[in-house]
A and B are shown apart, each in its own frame.
Chain A
Amino acid sequence: MIGVIVSDSEKELLISLVEKGVERLEPSITTEGIKYNNIDQFENWRETINLLNSLEEKEYLTGEDYDRAIICPSCDSPHVYSRYACPTDRSIFIKKITLLRHEPDGYSGELENFEQKGRLVCPKCGKDLGSAHDKETWDPNLKEIGYSFECEHNGHRFERPLVIHYCPLCGSTFDYRTARYIPLKAYTLSQKTYDMVKNTADTEKLIKPIIDFLNQNELQIQYGFEIKGVSGSTHQFDLTATIGPSLLLIDYSFGDSQELVALLGKKLDIPGAEAALVDFSDNEELLNLGKVYNIPIIDTGKKNWVNPLQNVIEKMKQVPVEKKETPRRRLWERRR
């Protein structure tokens, strides 16, 4: 393909990022979805991600692995909590039990056996071993030797609880089997973006007289137009102008005759449409080729640049001549 064309929304985003001086985009998981700094989010966060992925594919952004998100399988929200649950009845009402040992006398037991009025006291020798709520104050001879979990519903004890995810948005609970676990990328703007933004600014300046002329002639302008041709192929154009049912297809060229051939190919697929190539390179060869292909070349650097455009517009403004009724069964009827 000839280059990779960015859509209007993609171009808009890149321009706004460069204008804001943003060089890097990092994701964060919020109650509204995955958000990226400095981006006006779409209503659906997936659209933002699709947009960024598309720009990465087109090499306007460089993506790097940054984080992972658990996605609710019911409502697609990434804002989920995780809870521990009993492997027997999946109840989340379980408690963690810490096992301690007082090494000098060898007493081992659950932390709550040591607790006395907010302090830890060895049940065997009676020595105060520090605050029950501040591990930093513990006696060095008091060691944590393990832990387990206990279900408050059925009393069952186990070492490894189930990890259950809970989505506060839709209220569903799910585990790793049904959860979606997606990679989140951080993106950095590539040199291609800076080049594109600069070219866009330059192009807008160069194209302005043409836009003004089309507007004066009451044509409706659309940038980055996409249309399906009779072949079923979808074509993109830098600019289109319409008046009534007439359509003018415009592409920009920086002197590459390939652009002209491509425009001819696309025009063939859209019967009835007019086409013009805006050339920014002052290429005489293109002017001659344009005559051969019957596609006017618009070069605002030339003295009478409006003439070819005016001719096309006049053609578009003409009331379409009713097609003569053509015999529908040409070969067939001729032979009857």
Chain B
Amino acid sequence: MTIEKTGIPKNLVLTSGSFLNLLNTLVNTFGSAGESMIYQMGHENGMVFCREVVSKINNEGESLENLFVRVINSANQIGWANMVVEEFNPQNGKIKVVLQDNSFKQFCLRLNMPQCFFLRGYISGIIKELTNVDYQFSRSECYAHGDEHCSIRLVAED
């Protein structure tokens, strides 16, 4: 007998390969607009995630940097990568996050181009939620470009 499940499952299991296929389909269909769409998806997800994390923690007296680090640390559980905040300077509008043990490393190498549009958006969504300032992607270190590390830099929009 099959028991029909009701309600929305809390988690869905999706392999990173399947996830990347979804992203690639967008890029293959819409070109650079697909990359932008992926970024926007990441951005919205980052904002929602940040809101959830902040609502659950007691952040009284916490500095903005600590709060950002806590949200980023929580995001590590998702499994994209071990994200480490290397630079956090909202006064200058500069943020740098290093991605260790990046799950997408092999994909970046295989496809010879960065696959981090979702993560760029995700991090910019987190910082947008915390500061209400729009940050844009500045540059990255990427395995696909021959760099030894993976990192994402964001700068505040003018």
Contact = CB atoms under 8 A, between A and B. Distances in A.
Given A231-B39, A231-B121, A271-B157, A331 B33 contact: no
A329 B131 contact: yes
A332 B139 contact: no
Contacts of B30: 2, 258, 261-262, 265
Contact of A328 (B32, B38, B90, B121): B90
Nearest to A263: B33
Given A229-B36, A231-B39, A231-B117, A330 B131 contact: yes
A232 B135 CA distance: 11
Nearest to A269: B36
B40 to A, nearest CB: 5
Interface in B2-58: 27-40, 50-51, 54
A1 B137 CA distance: 22
The secondary-structure label for the interface of chain B is helix
A335 B59 contact: yes
Contact of A262 (B33, B39, B61, B136): B33
> Chain A contact residues (Cβ within 8 angstroms of B): what range?
20 to 34
Contacts of A330: 129-132
Interface string A1-43: 1100000000000000000000000000000000000000000
A271 B36 CA distance: 12
Given A262-B30, A335-B54, A230 B39 contact: yes
Nearest to B50: A331
Contact of B32 (A235, A258, A335): A235
Interface residues of B, number: 41
A1 to B, nearest CB: 4
A269 B39 contact: yes
Interface in A232-291: 232-236, 258, 261-266, 268-269, 271
A117 interface: no
Contact of B117 (A233, A266, A328): A233
A335 B60 contact: yes
Interface string A301-336: 000000000000000000000000011111110011
Contact of A266 (B36, B67, B139): B36
B120 interface: yes
A233 B32 contact: yes
Contacts of A236: 32
Interface of A: 1-2, 229-236, 258, 261-266, 268-269, 271, 326-332, 335-336
13 contacts: A2-B29, A230-B136, A230-B137, A232-B139, A235-B32, A258-B30, A265-B37, A265-B40, A268-B37, A326-B132, A328-B90, A331-B130, A332-B130
Those 5 A-B pairs whose CB atoms lie nearest each other, nearest first: A265-B33, A231-B39, A230-B136, A232-B137, A269-B36
